[in-house]
Amino acid sequence: PSPAQVFAGRAPVKPHAKPGQVAKLGPSRPRVEDVGEHVAQKWILTRGRDNIRDLLPGPILPTVIDTELLIEAEKELGHSLRPYPEARVWLRDGFWARVYREFDLGVGVSSK
């Protein structure tokens, strides 16, 4: 018999991940950057424009603010970004883009 005849009527077998192995498909860059911008806007509104000097010259955020950004973003996204280092960079990039636009400073890119 031919292979087609041998396997006729059988359901195709789907590949399985090995036990304990999880695919790490993170959130999309545009979504994470949007959340970073949204969190920056909230930061500006709640902390006031006078506190912007706490962030400058940038683009590295003080640890306390960086942690706040991550926590707020995870709440908004509904899941952790901790397994996705690239997503945390995008988050900071979105944050800085909003801050720099708000204060007409140009666009920054995170080096962290």
Nearest-angstrom CA–CA distance, 31 and 40: 14
pLDDT level of residue 35 (50, 70, 90 thresholds): very high
Question: What's the whole-number average pLDDT of the chain?
Answer: 79
Q: Please tell me the predicted confidence (pLDDT) of residue 90.
A: 95
Judged by DSSP in three states, 9 sits in coil
pLDDT level of residue 28 (50, 70, 90 thresholds): very high
Nearest-angstrom CA–CA distance, 15 and 21: 13
Nearest-angstrom CA–CA distance, 104 and 107: 9
Q: What are the residue ranges of helices labelled H in the chain?
A: 3-7, 29-47, 63-77, 85-102
Tell me if the pTM is above 0.85: no
